Amino acid sequence: MNMPVPSSNVQQLAPEVLTQLDADVQRLSANRERWVSTTVVERIAILAEIKEALMLVSKDWAETASRKKGIATGSPLEGEEWLSGPYTVMGYCNQMMATLSQVQGKHHLDSVALRQLSNKQVVARVLPHSLWDHLLLSGVTVDVWMQPDVTLDNLAHHTAGVYDTASTAHKTGKLGLVLGAGNVAAIAPLDVFHKLFAENEVVILKMNPVNDYLVDFLIPALKPLIDRGFLSIVKGATDVGQYLCNHPLVESIHITGAGASHDAIVWGVGETGVVNKEGNTPINKRAITSELGAVCPTIVVPGPWTTADICFQAEQVATQKLHNAGFNCVACQVMVLSSDWDQKIQFKTELERVLAAAESRPLYYPGAQDRLDGFLVNNPTSHHVARKGVSDLLIAPLKADSSDAAKTTEVFAPALNVMEIVSSDPEAFLQEAIQFANTQLYGTLGANIVIHPATIAQIGRQRLEDMLVELRYGTIAINAWTGVGFLSPQATWGAFPGHTLHDVQSGIGVVHNTCLFDKPQRTVVEAPFRPFPRNILSLSFTLLPRPPWFVTNRKGGILGRLLVAFQYRPSLLKIPRIFFNALLG
């Protein structure tokens, strides 16, 4: 993580490093006003240039990231690096270009379907939004829910404020520091884009040492911004991050990482940090936004599942745990089940089978083994799921009335807790599971709900939405994984609103959000429950046995490459090959 260190360590920076950092910061600061005055047409042109540059490095980017994470050449798991790297960055460019082309007068909202929940909250359906969405993501929806004070009448007023010519907000120009995460390749560039296009700030990006090899691809891909003096990318250890966090020309900070890193920036380290936090005397008073992870739940609602349903959803939950080797801030850490569900044992057995059979890969993220050792100490009754060529995956029971550290500590490694709730009624179970997640699990980044369509019908769609209102998470996925929200730039990404510097949990603010909603509350992703299409003519990969992000998809690498090429230049001629490989996935 980008953990700041005591100021004395700054003296250890080599003079040439300090000189270069200062030159980068001064150049960016001098271009703040020029970025603010950059027209919408120019911004669209920059994004178009980035797409061209990105396509040239996308193959080397995905393959290098795969090798760095221990994924074998030709493995289907290469698809993870295509999708969570070039694909998502390319998708942001497309979506932001579409928004900017109509942002004057807020006309980009004209084609966004709007509705209200029973509590009058405004919901914007941001996906599907195009022919391509309907073809490639058939059945998947992404809704952005607004904060309660946003109405249908004032939504435009609370959208794209930075582009509102009648407003003076965001017109002075700022220099922001982005501290990039070390686990997922797209995080740093997407955070940079948000600072630039949603907050009107020029950016210095400090990469995490874990994945600073990405600089070799980010610099050429983002060259249109770098050459114009609106972005600089630097490497370095925590001393570089600490120096930049306290540089007098840096006016804001965005961090993706751990809560401890955030608190070290704001309050200081060690006993000094504790005293400062207790006394409300931050050492860094810059505006700071953050995405800091959580102990994320997957709630499996009891229902009338077939054997095929159980097999498919076991692969889905396994993906939520093992995608990126388990090093995701929204990896499933607590699976919530009904103890009275008559298919509970069958589902757990199938899930363990999938986890054991998943392709092995090393624990590439620093400290993983130490965190697994700590998990074992806190969960001495852990069950070991043996995996070929890699350390065991740990599964441990969790009790509702315990003060188990698993409820408050993000394990960030291949370990899973299972919480069982005594209830056979789906609605009562879901209500209790929501209460458990809200009150006992740390953080509010993402929550998953797996629920059969017959069970939704039993509960009622409106009642289900009323229950979701109470589930306080920044992204909720129904029959999907919240990671799909991350991959969708139209969605918002971040914690549920309300955290503070004193109790930051999953962070403050959101990123992505290419529709530029100024007051979003959460994103809700929903996908079809069944693994097979109800209409045989609907050959979308999301309705076929395995979506391309599943760790079990046999064609993941090929699909990732094809989908990047499609995002670069969408064409109906590219669809058949995508569908063909999806059928074999």
Render pLDDT for 58-88 as a digit per residue (tens, 0 to 9): 999 999 999 999 999 999 999 999 999 999 9
Cα 448 from chain centre = 13
Q: What is the mean pLDDT of residues 376-404?
A: 88
Q: What is the mean pLDDT of residues 199-217?
A: 98
583 confidence band (pLDDT: 50, 70, 90): confident
Q: Give the C-alpha separation, 573 to 575, whole Å.
A: 6
Tell me if 471 sits within 8 A of 438, measured CB to CB.
Answer: yes
Q: What is the pLDDT of residue 1?
A: 37
Provide the pairing of β-strand 510-512 with 492-494. antiparallel
Higher pLDDT, 273 or 10: 273
Beta bridge partners of 298: 335, 448
Taking every pair of Cα atoms in the chain, the longest distance, rounded to a whole number of angstroms, is: 68
Least confident span in 7-11, 179-183, 472-476, 549-553: 7-11
Reply yes or no on whether the pLDDT at 536 is more than 90: no
Q: What is the pLDDT of residue 138?
A: 84
As a whole number, the mean pLDDT across the chain is 93
Q: What is the mean pLDDT of residues 461-484?
A: 98
Provide the pairing of β-strand 122-127 with 141-146. antiparallel
Q: H or E element: which one contains 431? A: helix 426-440
Q: What is the pLDDT of residue 570?
A: 96
Q: Which of 208, 207, 102, 195 is nearest to 156 (CA)?
A: 102
Q: What is the mean pLDDT of residues 120-143?
A: 94
The two three-digit tokens of residue 40, written as one number:
């919408």
Reply yes or no on whether the pLDDT at 406 is more than 90: no
Q: Give the C-alpha separation, 485 to 480, whole Å.
A: 9
Which position has the token pair 């693994």? 531
Q: What is the pLDDT of residue 4?
A: 36
11 confidence band (pLDDT: 50, 70, 90): low
Q: Which residues of 537-555 are buried (b: 16+ CB within 10 A; e: fewer)?
A: ebbbbbbbbbbbbbbbbeb
Quick one: what percent of the chain has pLDDT higher than 90? 88
Q: Is 443 left (phi over 0), alpha (psi -120 to 50) or beta?
A: left
Q: What is the mean pLDDT of residues 475-481?
A: 98
Q: How many residues does the chain have?
A: 585
167 confidence band (pLDDT: 50, 70, 90): low
Q: What is the pLDDT of residue 404?
A: 76
Q: What is the mean pLDDT of residues 484-492?
A: 97
Least confident span in 118-127, 182-191, 539-548: 539-548
166 confidence band (pLDDT: 50, 70, 90): low
* pTM as predicted: 0.95
The two three-digit tokens of residue 312, written as one number:
């498919």
pLDDT in tens, 253-304: 999 999 999 999 999 999 999 999 999 999 999 999 999 989 999 999 999 9
CB atoms within 10 A of CB 59: 14
Beta bridge partners of 359: none
Q: Is 471 left (phi over 0), alpha (psi -120 to 50) or beta?
A: beta
Q: What is the mean pLDDT of residues 538-565?
A: 81
Q: What is the pLDDT of residue 12?
A: 82
Tell me if 174 sits within 8 A of 202, measured CB to CB.
Answer: yes
| Sign for the pseudo-dihedral over CA of 240, 242, 243, 247 | positive
3-state SS string for 380-415: CCCEEEEECCEEEEEEEEECCCCCCHHHCCCCCCCE
Quick check: bond before 128 cis, omega within 30? yes
Reply yes or no on whether the pLDDT at 362 is more than 90: yes
CA distances from 317 to 346, 440, 494 (A): 14, 21, 21
| Domains of the chain, CATH where assigned | 7-103+164-252 (3.40.605.10), 296-526 (3.40.309.10)
Reply yes or no on whether the pLDDT at 409 is more than 70: yes
Beta bridge partners of 390: 387
Reply yes or no on whether the pLDDT at 541 is more than 70: no
Q: Give the C-alpha separation, 301 to 539, whole Å.
A: 28
Tell me if 248 sits within 8 A of 263, measured CB to CB.
Answer: no
The two three-digit tokens of residue 226, written as one number:
């770098």
Reply yes or no on whether the pLDDT at 344 is more than 80: yes
Q: What is the pLDDT of residue 10?
A: 52
Reply yes or no on whether the pLDDT at 441 is more than 90: yes
CB atoms within 10 A of CB 60: 12
pLDDT in tens, 307-342: 999 999 999 999 999 999 999 999 999 999 999 999
Q: What is the pLDDT of residue 169?
A: 53
